[in-house]
Amino acid sequence: MRHSTFFWFVLPTASAMVLFIAFPIISVLLQSVHAPHPAVLVEVETCTPLVGCTVETTMDQDATKAIREAEPLGRFIGLEIFFDRGHLAVKEVGEIIRNSNSFNEAFSKLSNLPFYRALAFTLTFTFIVTPFVIIFGFLIAITVNAISSHLKGLVIFFSLLPFVVTQLIGALVLFWMIDSRGILGSAAQWLASDPNLSLKASTGVMWVSLIIYGIWHAAPFAFVIFYAGLQTLPQDQIEAAKIDGASRYQQTKYIIIPHLFPLITFVALIQLMDNFRVFEPIVGFNASAHAQSLSWFIFNDLGGETRQLSSAAASSVLTIIGVSILLFPVLFRTWRDFRERT
């Protein structure tokens, strides 16, 4: 295909991506180093006979409006927002490191800072959910592959539901069941004979529930991918292994898993990206008192009466840096493969 033809074919999609993905990233970068203009204050001296003069400070509405309209981005403040208490909290972290006696103490103090708390949950969620999704997806795939074929369609239908249904809705459906008044919540209270056991009261229980939700939601995705991979298993290799007396375990370990390995990397990559943006379940579980993620952190700044755009922008920049670090090994490998091929 000639360059010019290629250009015209790609133009609409490329311009959509540049305008609404690349530019917003730049816009976020710019916003994160600016803060809204403070109100312009004027001192007005009012003098009344006999009483004397008083000086009042009032906001100059027109001047404030004028300067805010002239520079909608606000004033340049450099990296101030990044280092403040709501984000990297450089000063607080320094104090914590200087004043803490043990690693544990420092860690628990760090987790009181909002950004680090959100980061801790996001990373925990990402790195626990991803491997479990792969393991469960694999188990479901090999068992579904083993059942009789006229049951498969039905099983696949029900298996797809947790993945296809809106994340917020899936989270709500589970939440209403594990809520202390829901069926699973009251069953858990009964089993533990602890009438006060409640999702809302315990950070630990909340984290575990969110992680279970994450696995429940994404396991079908891994299942479908692995199941498709199992359909293309090299049958001759399996036959040969059987003749050589390989057990089921050995067949799985030496033939099936190596055959699925590219798919496992694919699922891991997609899951790392998707779990890092975990957000809807926190809204659905009403979990923000116990667990916040980076995405929720941004959402919270953006919403509400006071839209704190600069703060949200700074958190977004930090999140984008996090995504880049996660993605770097994959991109590096792709680049190396590409270099070797050409």
Intra-chain end-to-end CA distance of the chain, in Å: 19
Candidates 331, 332, 333, 336: give the one binding another protein (CB under 8 A). Answer: 331
Q: Which two tokens stand for residue 96?
A: 């914590």
Q: How crowded is the C-beta side of 193, counted as CA atoms within 13 Å?
A: 0
**Least separation in angstroms between CB 54 and another protein:** 38
Contact mark string toward another protein, 117..156, x via CB under 8 A: ----------------------xx--xx-xxxx---x-xx
Candidates 64, 124, 186, 198: give the one binding another protein (CB under 8 A). Answer: 186
Pick out residues in 187-226 that bind another protein (CB under 8 A). 187, 216, 220-221, 224-225
- Label residues 52-79 b or e (16+ Cβ within 10 Å = b): eeeeeeeeeeeeeeebbeeeebbeeeee
**Least separation in angstroms between CB 274 and another protein:** 9
**Least separation in angstroms between CB 280 and another protein:** 5
Contacts of 285 (CB under 8 A, 6+ apart): 171, 175, 199, 206, 209, 210, 213
Name which of 67 and 326 has its Cβ closer to another protein.
326
Name which of 36 and 83 has its Cβ closer to another protein.
36
**Least separation in angstroms between CB 326 and another protein:** 8
Contact mark string toward another protein, 254..273, x via CB under 8 A: --------xx-xxx-x---x
Question: What number of chain residues touch another protein (CB under 8 A)?
Answer: 104
**Least separation in angstroms between CB 260 and another protein:** 10
Residue 72 binds another protein (CB under 8 A)? yes
How many Å apart are CA 28 and CA 309, to the nearest integer? Answer: 9
Candidates 91, 181, 253, 333: give the one binding another protein (CB under 8 A). Answer: 181
**Least separation in angstroms between CB 53 and another protein:** 42
Residue 172 binds another protein (CB under 8 A)? yes
Candidates 3, 98, 150, 339: give the one binding another protein (CB under 8 A). Answer: 3
Contact mark string toward another protein, 275..314, x via CB under 8 A: -xx-xx--x--x-------xx--xx-xxx---x-x--xx-
Pick out residues in 77-116 that bind another protein (CB under 8 A). none
What residues are paired with 58 via a beta bridge?
A: 42
Candidates 120, 179, 206, 290: give the one binding another protein (CB under 8 A). Answer: 179
How many Å apart are CA 166 and CA 67, to the nearest integer? Answer: 43
Residue 159 binds another protein (CB under 8 A)? yes
Name which of 9 and 76 has its Cβ closer to another protein.
9
How many Å apart are CA 117 and CA 110, to the nearest integer? Answer: 8
How many Å apart are CA 302 and CA 150, to the nearest integer? Answer: 50
**Least separation in angstroms between CB 46 and another protein:** 37
Among the candidate windows 16-24, 54-62, 83-91, 123-131, which touches another protein by CB under 8 A?
A: 16-24
Residue 173 binds another protein (CB under 8 A)? yes
- Label residues 138-170 b or e (16+ Cβ within 10 Å = b): bebbbebbeeeeeeeeeeeeebeebbeeebeeb
